[in-house]
Amino acid sequence: MTAPPLPFAYEGQGVFRALPRAVAACAEHYGQGEIVVLAPLEARSLASHNQYFAALNECWLNLPETVALRWASVDHFRKHGLIATGFHDQRSLVCASKAEAARVAAFMRPMDDYAIVTVSQAVVTVYTAKSQSMRAMGRDGFRRSKDEVLGWAAMQAGISLESLSPPRDDARAKNPASAGG
């Protein structure tokens, strides 16, 4: 198991010290004298996060009724989009028979609030969406997943991706006289 991001304070002269709340986790994940590479955690912007979820909700609300029935909630819609665009975990299990695969699939379906479970011959494959939490997905990973999922969502809703973007606040919009007309 990989260690979660842990907070450290730089004390100068090349010394980093774990903050008190991270000491137990350090002891759990690392051995004394173990060399660990530290990298800054680049948090994503809350504005980007909020815009993403608002745009997803807009897409979900604009789905044609025949398509909308596929997803019970905007969260199911988002998770399906993550899976469809490759931001997922995949597990496969080879069963002894097609009948056993069908039973295993039926057993596995309710184990996640939203998962795609497929059966092909005697193989059961389960796809679950990767978490987009700030802890699980850094700024760049979130940006990539956001762009991919919004593109997929706009296509499902039959609307343009550009219509989901907030209007740009530039000087011309503020001052029509400067637009040259």
pLDDT (tens digit, 9 = 90+) per residue, 132-168?
Answer: 987 788 888 999 999 999 999 999 999 888 887 654 3
User: In whole angstroms, what is the distance from residue 113 CA to residue 41 CA?
Assistant: 29
Q: What is residue 166's predicted lDDT score, i.e. its pLDDT?
A: 56
Quick: pLDDT tens for 59-117: 999 899 888 899 999 999 999 999 999 999 999 999 999 999 999 999 998 888 899 99
Q: Smallest Cα–Cα separation from 124: which of 105, 107, 100, 152?
A: 105
Burial of 130 (0-12, 13-18, 19+ CB in 10 A): middle
Is this structure's pTM higher than 0.75? Answer: no
